Amino acid sequence: MVTINDVAELAGLSKSTVSRVINHYPHVSQEKKQKVYQAMKTLGYVPNSSARSLRNKKTQMIAVIVPRLMNPFFGQLIESMEVAATEQGYQLLICQTMYSKETELGHLELLKMKQVDGMILASLENEWETISEYLTYGPLIMCNEFEEDANIPIVKLDQIHGGYIATKHLLEEGHRRIAYCSGGHKSMVAQHRKLGFKKALKEYGLEFEERYSFLDAYSIKDGMRVFHELNQMEEPPTAVFTGGDEVAAGLITAAKENGVRIPKDLSVIGFDNQVVTKIMDPKISTIEQPIQLMAQQAIKVLVEKIASKQDPQKERYEFPLKLIVRESTGRSPLRAVE
Amino acid sequence: MVTINDVAELAGLSKSTVSRVINHYPHVSQEKKQKVYQAMKTLGYVPNSSARSLRNKKTQMIAVIVPRLMNPFFGQLIESMEVAATEQGYQLLICQTMYSKETELGHLELLKMKQVDGMILASLENEWETISEYLTYGPLIMCNEFEEDANIPIVKLDQIHGGYIATKHLLEEGHRRIAYCSGGHKSMVAQHRKLGFKKALKEYGLEFEERYSFLDAYSIKDGMRVFHELNQMEEPPTAVFTGGDEVAAGLITAAKENGVRIPKDLSVIGFDNQVVTKIMDPKISTIEQPIQLMAQQAIKVLVEKIASKQDPQKERYEFPLKLIVRESTGRSPLRAVE
DNA sequence: CTGTTAGCGCGTTCAT
DNA sequence: ATGAACGCGCTAACAG
């Protein structure tokens, strides 16, 4: 392995000078600078990153914690983060919790080991009380998922408004019996979305009905299950707020297989505006989330925290959501006469 | 920051002993071992990973290069690799080239900087001639994408057979005018698939026809474009080999919008067995790829290379593909009378 | 079984 | 403007 010493020797200079050239120090004569560059080139020298990290106490690495990569939402998030991080001179280390508390804690150790300069939590398995202990070891921010009173920066989407506009759209189409699907119950994202749902109902003088509430709805398969459950209810809902495009896709697929017409018999609204919404038949109405903006902002905020070294602060950044009406939502069959 | 020295001091021992305990050395007395554990615990000590890497000349990190994360094929590949790597005590650093040669070279520098112990190439932007220069800096293997005569381990799928069975299925259904879609032309994966396609045609006494060949077909949008092109041909094909489920999905979506019935008027076969194949209407016939097995094998092989330190060798590992017949393929309309 | 010592490769005082 | 020397935190070789 070729080290800084080899370069210094070949250039006939000290390693201090070589180091200065590498790090673009101001006061080095052009002559020596050229000599160093020449030597570096002929030897094919590249600074050893471990040595640098040890010395600088900076690894130029950021970790992001997600439940799993293949979830399209997190996939997009990570893809954008990776690009943004690279632009800022950081490597992005992607950590999957696979929904396990232990695995999440394992990843948090990266901060202790100083393997990463900072960390972005895009999902949350453990209690904030547990996670907050890691704050001593380096900057930590949340992105997407959040904990209201955590004293760290949080970059998030306005989920309350998201739940609100999706529901309002269904209400405006005349629906009054609206099913509500949601995934994790601890998740603040899910809780806020539900708040928005309830807020819209309230504006129309309606109450949240437990019988129309479906839990653990994440995947296509879950969507299919939900359809079968609601299809055999006495007073089936005329619309479904799915909380996710995959769930909506599964629900629609099952509905079609059972002769239930979308949106004539049943309106379905997704969440995320994933690709699947555009290829399903009918195309799925949904809520668009500005994932890329959120990802870029998260990287930006974390990089600043790493540089500033100040104590964690309670900062909030919020991005708006947008309703996209396609073909899977329409007038309520019960109000068709109006 | 608490270091090994602090632990040694508190335990009243030398840092060598502490180091031995950390690394599970055999000959340490139970008594001192307990003292060390005690001290580590009260201080909350965790070894600094940069220092370890510098000393051991091992970072316990593996990089994998892919074009982009959101491509479902690579998403699955990476997800499986991450899990396999973690099991083996390695971190997986995911690098996106975004189809750029320069970006790919940038990522290869990680090997020079010794930031990773080894690297998996799952896609290839630069010529092998260029990439092979990095072989000096650490073990490099290919997974999925490949270069026939590279003298490194290659873990791949039997794409020739994949192209063959997909095409044979269409031929058996009576199709004789079969369109062929493909993405990158340099890609050996694509070339092998085409070989399989041609092999099947030949068995039926047919030639590859350029007029039925469509290039740059990757996405849903591309699939839509291909449909419109082939739909206005004088002698339109009765079946399409798409080379990707996304392309198939786009094609089917466009076909339905234009009143072309799948598979009655046109048979479409995908490639990958992605989730989308199960939610489209009709469900897409496709080729299943054992991505997880390939990912695990790749990690295993690379970890072995890292340990053995021997010169790069020409090893080949190949996994079989499987035909999955669903609803998007059927009898050729031209042969319906037979 | 345990402690002392010497670096790993780099950046950075502190002199000059 | 440049070089000598020290130390980041850790492991390994050598004594004992």
Q: Give the DSSP letter string of B40-85.
A: HHHHT----HHHHHHHHT---EEEEEES-TTSHHHHHHHHHHHHHH
C-alpha to C-alpha distances, A110 to A23, A329, B183, B187, nearest whole angstrom? 27, 46, 39, 37
Q: Which nucleotide is nearest to A114 (CA to C1')?
A: D9
The distance (Å) linking the CA of B47 with the C1' of C3 is 20
**C-alpha span between B247 and B230 (Å, rounded):** 14
With beta carbons less than 8 A apart as the criterion, state whether A213 and A183 touch.
no
Estimate the crossing angle of helix A15-22 against helix A30-43, to 10 degrees. Answer: 90
**C-alpha span between A65 and A73 (Å, rounded):** 13
With beta carbons less than 8 A apart as the criterion, state whether B39 and B11 touch.
yes
Q: For residue B272, is pLDDT > 90? A: yes
- List the one residue out of A208, A64, A80 whose CA is nearest residue B92: A64
Percentage of chain B exceeding pLDDT 70: 99
**C-alpha span between A328 and B2 (Å, rounded):** 58
- What are A's interface residues with B at a Cβ cutoff of 8 A? 1, 44, 46-51, 53-54, 59, 68-70, 72, 75-76, 78-79, 82-83, 91-94, 96, 98, 109-110, 112-115, 220, 249-250, 253, 256, 275-276, 278-281
C-alpha to C-alpha distances, B287 to A80, B157, B307, nearest whole angstrom? 30, 12, 35
Is the CB of A220 less than 8 angstroms away from the CB of B278?
Answer: yes
Q: For residue A184, is pLDDT > 90? A: no
How confident is the model at residue A40, as a pLDDT? 95
pLDDT band at B335 (very low <50, low <70, confident <90, very high): low
pLDDT band at B284 (very low <50, low <70, confident <90, very high): very high
When CB atoms are compared, the residue of A115, A250, A279 closest to B253 is A279
- List the one residue out of A290, A282, A279, A289 whose CA is nearest residue B219: A279
Rounded to the nearest angstrom, the minimum Cα separation between B43 and chain A is 12
Estimate the crossing angle of helix A30-43 against helix A4-11, to 10 degrees. Answer: 120
**C-alpha span between B241 and B181 (Å, rounded):** 6
How confident is the model at residue A130, as a pLDDT? 96
> What integer best gives the mean pLDDT of chain A?
95
Q: Is the CB of A47 under 7 A from strand C?
A: yes
Length of chain B: 338
When CB atoms are compared, the residue of A69, A78, A113 closest to B49 is A113
The distance (Å) linking the CA of B16 with the C1' of D11 is 8
With beta carbons less than 8 A apart as the criterion, state whether B285 and B325 touch.
yes
**C-alpha span between B65 and B86 (Å, rounded):** 17
**C-alpha span between B303 and B119 (Å, rounded):** 10
Rounded to the nearest angstrom, the minimum Cα separation between A91 and chain B is 8
Q: What tens digit of pLDDT does each residue of A270-313 get?
A: 999 999 999 898 999 999 999 999 999 999 999 999 998 777 78
Three-point CA angle A91, A95, A100, nearest 5°: 165
Determine which of B4, B40, B41, B50 to mutate to test the interface with A (most A C-beta atoms within 10 Å): B50
Contacts of A82 in chain B (CB under 8 A): 69, 94, 96
When CB atoms are compared, the residue of A48, A92, A93 closest to B113 is A48
Three-point CA angle B266, B271, B273, nearest 5°: 110
Strands across the sheet containing B239-241: B213-214, B178-181, B239-241, B267-269
Rounded to the nearest angstrom, the minimum Cα separation between B310 and chain A is 16
Q: For residue A127, is pLDDT > 70? A: yes
C-alpha to C-alpha distances, B300 to B77, B86, B93, B267, nearest whole angstrom? 14, 12, 16, 39
Contacts of B245 in chain A (CB under 8 A): none
Residue bearing tokens 């997190």:
A74
Chain D nucleotides close to protein (CB under 7 A) are 1-5, 7-13
CB contact burial B15-44 (16+ within 10 A = b; e otherwise): bebbbbbbeeeeeeeeebbebbeebbeeee
**Consecutive H or E run containing A276:** helix A276-279
- In this prediction, residues A103-114 reach a mean pLDDT of 96
- In this prediction, residues A63-68 reach a mean pLDDT of 97
CA neighbours closer than 13 Å in the CB half-sphere of residue B103: 20
- In this prediction, residues A188-209 reach a mean pLDDT of 97
Domains and CATH numbers, chain B: 1-45 (1.10.260.40), 50-157+292-319 (3.40.50.2300), 159-289+322-337 (3.40.50.2300)
How confident is the model at residue B136, as a pLDDT? 92
In this prediction the pTM is 0.93
Is the CB of B54 less than 8 angstroms away from the CB of A50?
Answer: yes
CB contact burial B69-102 (16+ within 10 A = b; e otherwise): bbbbbbbbbbbbbbbbbbeeebbbbbbbbbeeee
Strand D footprint at Cβ < 7 Å? A 13-17, 20, 26-29, 31-32, 54-55; B 1, 3-5, 15-16, 19, 22-23, 47-48, 51-52, 54-56
**C-alpha span between B37 and B34 (Å, rounded):** 5
Q: What tens digit of pLDDT does each residue of B215-236 get?
A: 999 999 999 999 999 999 999 9
- In this prediction, residues B167-180 reach a mean pLDDT of 97
Q: For residue B116, is pLDDT > 90? A: yes
Long-range Cβ contact pairs of A6-9 (< 8 A, separation 24 or more): A6/A43, A6/A45, A7/A36, A7/A39, A7/A40, A7/A43, A7/A45, A8/A39
How confident is the model at residue A338, as a pLDDT? 44
Contacts of B112 in chain A (CB under 8 A): 44, 46
> What integer best gives the mean pLDDT of chain B?
95
User: What is the dihedral angle through the alpha carbons of A175, A177, A178, A180, rounded to the nearest 10 degrees?
Assistant: 170
C-alpha Rg value of chain A to the nearest Å: 26
Residue of B nearest to A283 (CA): B253
Estimate the crossing angle of helix A15-22 against helix A4-11, to 10 degrees. Answer: 110
**C-alpha span between A73 and A321 (Å, rounded):** 14
The distance (Å) linking the CA of A24 with the C1' of C2 is 46
Q: For residue A337, is pLDDT > 50? A: no
Q: For residue A214, is pLDDT > 70? A: yes
Rounded to the nearest angstrom, the minimum Cα separation between A204 and chain B is 34
Is the CB of B113 less than 8 angstroms away from the CB of A59?
Answer: no
- List the one residue out of B223, B155, B156 whose CA is nearest residue B190: B156
Ramachandran class of B269: left when φ > 0, alpha when ψ lies in -120 to 50, beta otherwise: beta
Three-point CA angle B98, B154, B71, nearest 5°: 30
Would you call A129 helix, strand, or coil by DSSP? helix
Phi, psi of B237 (to 5 degrees): -65, 155
**Consecutive H or E run containing A164:** helix A159-172
Largest CA distance in chain A: 92
For residue B290, cis peptide bond before it (omega within 30 degrees of 0): no
How confident is the model at residue A158, as a pLDDT? 98
The residues, any chain, with a CB within 8 Å of residue B187's CB and separated by 6 or more, are B124, B145
The distance (Å) linking the CA of B21 with the C1' of D13 is 18
Is the CB of B96 less than 8 angstroms away from the CB of A83?
Answer: yes
pLDDT band at A96 (very low <50, low <70, confident <90, very high): very high
Q: Three-state SS string across B177-204, please?
A: CEEEECCCCCCHHHHHHHHHHHHHHHHC
How many pairs of residues across A and B have Cβ atoms under 8 Å apart? 105
**C-alpha span between B18 and B32 (Å, rounded):** 9
Chain C nucleotides close to protein (CB under 7 A) are 1-5, 7-13
Percentage of chain A exceeding pLDDT 70: 99
Phi, psi of B305 (to 5 degrees): -60, -40
For residue B282, cis peptide bond before it (omega within 30 degrees of 0): yes
With beta carbons less than 8 A apart as the criterion, state whether A158 and A319 touch.
yes
How confident is the model at residue A335, as a pLDDT? 64
With beta carbons less than 8 A apart as the criterion, state whether B303 and B90 touch.
yes
Count of Cβ atoms closer than 10 Å to residue B172 Cβ: 12
Q: For residue B337, is pLDDT > 50? A: no
The β-bridge partners of B119 are: B63, B140
With beta carbons less than 8 A apart as the criterion, state whether A139 and A302 touch.
yes
Token representation of residue A299: 């990287």
How confident is the model at residue A26, as a pLDDT? 84
Q: For residue B327, is pLDDT > 70? A: yes
pLDDT band at B139 (very low <50, low <70, confident <90, very high): very high
**C-alpha span between A252 and A326 (Å, rounded):** 14
- In this prediction, residues B163-173 reach a mean pLDDT of 98
How confident is the model at residue B200, as a pLDDT? 98
C-alpha to C-alpha distances, A77 to A84, A116, A219, A233, A329, nearest whole angstrom? 11, 19, 18, 37, 27
Q: Which of residues 15-54 of B touch strand C (CB under 7 A)?
A: 15-17, 20, 27-29, 31-32, 54
The distance (Å) linking the CA of A17 with the C1' of C16 is 15
**C-alpha span between A90 and A299 (Å, rounded):** 9
pLDDT band at A190 (very low <50, low <70, confident <90, very high): very high
- In this prediction, residues B69-82 reach a mean pLDDT of 95
